């Protein structure tokens, strides 16, 4: 775990299963106190009991639906507390489906959970972290953030989900540049298909039943995703892609962006001129 985020309290959203639960297990085992945030009280209680018994770490349960403003406010208040040294914005829902046919209320919920919640929780966390000179934020995005032009099948129908994860990547990278020169670290974690229950629900309602379910398509174990994230925090990688063998691909992306931004303030491109 990153030195600037150790021996404090870690707040993990979406902690009731999958990647979030793995973060909680790893961080508690490393000696951090952990605040578990999720909608399902029964699962949080079960995980909290497991962590207390196995690690002896202090564990809090904070039942909240981050699509609800009042719940988000309660979590933000906890995130702003002086003991918090790590925030893991892991909660997310998919809202998969054809854009023109998917319920507008579900799409609004995707934006609330995937965009508004991590933005406001990060805003709640940073002032105190900056004042104390230590802390880190992990925003769990997705490789689908980089899949905008690819058609569905085998990828899901994902216009709003992909857009929300693209926001998280851009937000995190830009924030990292803003925080350069401070002790704080921020990371956009971009896993590919992961062996969790994520694809068992569009997110309108949480998956029912016992924890530990895995969708039929398999994928990388959630524990490996978390291993990559925590290693990347130590080395200072802003964009962590657990399955990417050559990290230079991220540098190539930045170089391509620089080339596109080179058009700022330039003359009108020839292909857009009248008569072409």
Q: Residue 276's pLDDT band (boundaries 50, 70, 90)?
A: low
Q: What is the C-alpha separation between 261 and 257, in angstroms, rounded? A: 6
* Residue 2: per-residue pLDDT: 47
Residues involved in catalysis: 161
H-run or E-run covering 202: none
Per-residue pLDDT reduced to its tens digit, 50-108: 999 999 999 999 999 999 999 999 999 999 999 999 999 999 999 999 999 999 999 99
The residue extents of the domains of the chain are 3-272
What is the value of pTM for the model shown?
0.94
Tokens for 131, please give them. Answer: 């004042």
CATH 3.40.50.720 fits domain 3-272: yes
H-run or E-run covering 178: helix 159-178
Opening angle at CA 45, ends 40 and 50, nearest 5? 130
Tokens for 181, please give them. Answer: 């020169």
* % pLDDT > 90, the chain: 87
Count of positions (residues) in the chain: 276
SS3 1: coil
Q: What is the C-alpha separation between 25 and 217, in angstroms, rounded? A: 24
Strand runs (DSSP E) across 40-102, as ranges? 59-63, 84-89
């Amino acid at each position: 775990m990153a030195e600037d985020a150790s021996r404090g309290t870690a707040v993990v959203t979406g902690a009731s299963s999958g990647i979030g639960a793995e973060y909680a297990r790893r961080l508690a085992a490393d000696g951090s106190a952990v605040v578990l945030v999720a909608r399902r009280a029964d699962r949080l209680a079960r995980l909290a009991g497991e962590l207390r018994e196995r690690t002896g770490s202090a564990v809090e349960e904070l039942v909240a639906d981050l699509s609800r403003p009042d719940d988000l406010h309660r979590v933000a208040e906890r995130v702003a507390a002086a003991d918090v040294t790590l925030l893991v914005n892991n909660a997310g829902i998919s809202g998969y489906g054809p854009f023109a046919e998917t319920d507008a209320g579900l799409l609004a919920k995707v934006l609330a959970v995937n965009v508004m919640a991590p933005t406001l929780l990060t805003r709640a966390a940073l002032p105190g972290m900056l004042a104390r000179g230590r802390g880190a934020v992990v925003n769990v995005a997705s490789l689908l953030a980089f899949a905008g032009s690819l058609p569905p099948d085998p990828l899901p129908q994902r216009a709003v989900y992909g857009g929300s994860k693209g926001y998280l990547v851009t937000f995190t990278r830009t924030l990292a540049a803003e925080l350069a020169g401070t002790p704080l670290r921020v990371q956009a974690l971009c896993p590919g298909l992961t062996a969790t229950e994520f694809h068992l629900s569009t997110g309108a309602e949480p998956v029912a039943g016992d924890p530990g379910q895995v969708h039929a398509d398999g994928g990388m174990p959630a524990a490996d995703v978390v291993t990559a994230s925590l290693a990347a925090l130590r080395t200072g990688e802003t964009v962590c892609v657990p399955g990417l063998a050559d990290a230079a691909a991220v540098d190539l992306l930045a170089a391509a962006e620089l080339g596109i931004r080179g058009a700022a303030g330039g003359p009108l491109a020839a292909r857009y001129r009248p008569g072409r």
